[in-house]
Amino acid sequence: MKKSIKFAIWGNTEKPKFWETLPGILDWAKKHELKPYLTTRISKQFKHEDLPIIESADSFIDMDFILTLGGDGTILSAARAVAHRNIPILGIHLGDLGFMANVTLSDLYNRLDQVVEGKYTVSDHMVLNAEISANGKTIKSQVLNDVVVNNGKTHRMVTCMLEANNRFIGKYKADGIIVATPTGSTAYSLSAGGPIVEPSVRSFIITPICPHSLTSRPLVVPDSSEIKITFPKEPFEQIGVTLDGQIFHHFDHNAAIIVRKANYMIKFIDFADCSYYATLRNKMGWGKRGEA
């Protein structure tokens, strides 16, 4: 990485630990003669005349990396902002269970030093394009984790018709359907009984949520697939779509949802001594049998 490093700070401003950690990061950056940029949300709450501000998403183009402080949700929002701009993300974990932000506060400055020294790798994570058509309008969005379809604001089951590359998969009557990336396989899909898929495996995971059938099971399909979800006309049918757990839409049963692989990846900064499998062991307590 070049000597004159610019990086953006993206954080969960609702967490007290973020504000406790921010001054130390700024001191570290000053010591190493780096140039940190703040998002407008952070800048409004943290008055610092000497720090430049990220005014728009296009400002990320000039960054060498983005430092996120929070959890997986913070990374998801940062990934949407970065989008196709090819800027790697370094996630710092501030609290709850998380799989993407795997650098802890105790290891923060050691990892930052490694980034400055170029002692890191970059991994690519698949992104999904979600295209929702309803009532003559089309909404397009990109997701890093998952697209979740359910019955909107009601607690009724939803009936979904699924196709892959114009080939009928099946009719599902369930609380909902999840289409997840391998990165998202450890999120809602996992809670709904879906498999854990290593992020480098190029695939989608289709997971029914509480299906009204003992034979409905999760399905892993190649990332070349185009998944289409439609809904048979039923009384009082309302469709809810949630993107990465953060963006919500509601439609009637005439909606059609198409999910396909995006033409770009989200990049994460990794380190040689970090392992996805070690993360799984630590986060999920694999191999522990009641030990404290």
Residues carrying an active site annotation: 72
CA angle 252/254/257 to nearest 5° reads 95
Q: DSSP string covering 36-91, please? A: EEEEHHHHHHS--TTS-EE-SGGGGGG-SEEEEEE-HHHHHHHHHHHGGG---EEE
Residues 6+ apart with CB under 8 A from 247: 141
d(CA 207, CA 220): 9
Q: Which residues of 165-177 are buried (b: 16+ CB within 10 A; e: fewer)?
A: eeeebeebebbbb
- Residue 224's φ and ψ, nearest 5 degrees, are -80, -5
d(CA 214, CA 208): 11
Cα-to-chain-centroid distance, residue 114: 24
